[in-house]
Structure 1
């Protein structure tokens, strides 16, 4: 009788654990991957930026600049039949230079106008700002965190190369999730027009990022919850959390990469950028900005940021 009771207890405990893991997988998938509002980030201390940065984000001159431009809306059908959309702006004078600016998680294409104005007015580039799948006017009911987006980016590059000509020289410049996107793309066979990559505040892999945030925000271990969530993500969104890996991609990179990160970033630790830099196969540079939190480097030291980008591209 005692053995039977113990077996019942063990069976009950195992059942509870399994149910918890399954329920947790669906909960965190809906929380992070499924398209929709993400209230859990509201008030997150790791995303707190300086008053100066917030003023620029909300009321900066770049917003007026974006509103004043006559962007061409370009659509593209992805390999898995999503309607993707982006904004193209030709340079003021004819040029063979093009920058593709990729935005962060929960952002949208026009938010990259903060950087687009710099490329347009000071560097004389054509600019293109795509909405990642699941964001803005692009289709998709999930967020790719850079992995499916890397292939979309390459397809955008080919489409724009056909539009602007074979001699076009392309720069990728991404922020946060957009930075992970351009780094993940670096491990693929890129179109020969791609000449350099700039990654501002990147993470290494989606699994590592989630493990860090799971511990920091919910005080939970990564295993086995993230592994189960990864299976669900693969079934619903077509990718696993571990395969979405920028670190392995940069080990195959063939174009120069400039890494930019804030030294005070607690949402995506600065160490992630340092390790990416150390493991990059191609020519690379690292620019760290004092007192800058996540995605804050451009505002906190704008002149140094611009000088670093200019010298890197030259």
Structure 2
């Protein structure tokens, strides 16, 4: 291409015809546009990373990996070793959305007409609830321990913090009734995300066989809990995390069909008339202890609240086993028999 031909190119012709001031204004607009594009790309990457971190069952650095190992100095050594050695049945059902196989362990008690369903917490599995199984077995209960969707041996793609899992729990309740008879008295005991799942379930139309709820360290709202986790784990200012979670909520609406603010434990508890025992550690920094009071105030049925002195998140039983068993005994004797 000759020099004369180069001079006829549109871009060079533009440079000849425009003043320097006009060129600089255009340059500024282009740079701002490129900056906006770069920011948008960075924001999308940030939200994608954040969403996968919060909503997919990938390893989280701030969560201890579940293990079956039991130390002899563990205050719950007897309970945990009993559970590991106890013979279990395996139950399987389809998830409420029909997409995944869900798996549970079942420990029957001969001629029992009472069953407890134990639900684990975030990024854990059914075996972590074995520490409760011993107590209920000795009290004459059948024990069902499901793996939540996307946890343990159950299938799944996303973690829904209880909002979708509540529908799976209703299917497990129906499965218990179908297999063991309509004369069953069913108790729901849960920990952390499992507790939130059950409190969300409490606002649904449940079978008459469900008699009582025991929730341990459950949060009051998914959005507020994620904001709290983002602040405590990422150490970012709260207003930054609120903006990020709003974006996450919009993404979740597209992926899972609901905004995070709608996944409210409090709204569901407002429709709950079942007897409920609320338990929370005094020093819980994973799910703030204030949420226990919010949950307690929201429910409409008979209720009791126990804040366990010096207990961290999901540590109430190991912190005060004697006190824990007394509260369970008194509550169950009063409302289940």
The normalised TM-score by structure 1 is: 0.90
Write the distance in 1 (CA, Å) between the matches of 2:28 and 2:307: 57
Write the distance in 2 (CA, Å) between the matches of 1:40 and 1:298: 22
Aligned to 1:188: 204
Aligned to 2:325: 306
Question: Would the aligned equivalents of 1:109 and 1:130 in 2 still touch at CA under 8 Å?
Answer: yes
Counterpart selection for 2:176 from 147, 150, 160: 160
Deviations 1:98-154, CA, capped at 9 Å, x for gaps: 100000111111211100111111x11111000000111100022221111111111
Write the distance in 2 (CA, Å) between the matches of 1:237 and 1:31: 15
Deviation at 1:9, TM superposition (A): 5.4
Deviations 1:269-295, CA, capped at 9 Å, x for gaps: 100111111121222111000100000
Deviations 1:30-72, CA, capped at 9 Å, x for gaps: 21211222224369xxxxxxxx999528x82223212221111
Deviation at 1:243, TM superposition (A): 2.1
Question: Would the aligned equivalents of 1:53 and 1:299 in 2 still touch at CA under 8 Å?
Answer: no
Q: Provide runs of 4+ in structure 1 moved above 6 Å.
A: none
Aligned to 1:100: 117
Number of residue equivalences: 303
Write the distance in 2 (CA, Å) between the matches of 1:203 and 1:86: 24
Q: Are residues 1:240 and 2:259 paired? A: yes
Root mean square deviation, CA, Å: 2.2
Question: Would the aligned equivalents of 1:22 and 1:228 in 2 still touch at CA under 8 Å?
Answer: no
Question: Would the aligned equivalents of 1:63 and 1:113 in 2 still touch at CA under 8 Å?
Answer: yes
RCO comparison, higher one (Cα < 8 Å, 6+): 1
Aligned to 2:78: 61
Counterpart selection for 2:60 from 34, 38, 58: 38
Instruction: Give the 5 Å matches for 1:221-300.
Output: 221-300=240-319
Q: For structure 1, which runs of at least 5 residues remain unmatched after alignment? A: 44-51
Q: For structure 2, which runs of at least 5 residues remain unmatched after alignment? A: 1-21
Write the distance in 1 (CA, Å) between the matches of 2:290 and 2:198: 19
The structure with the largest alpha-carbon Rg is: 2
Deviation at 1:5, TM superposition (A): 5.5
Aligned to 1:142: 158
Write the distance in 1 (CA, Å) between the matches of 2:37 and 2:331: 56
Pick closer, same or farther for the CA change 1:281–1:16 going to 2, 3 Å. Answer: farther
The normalised TM-score by structure 2 is: 0.84
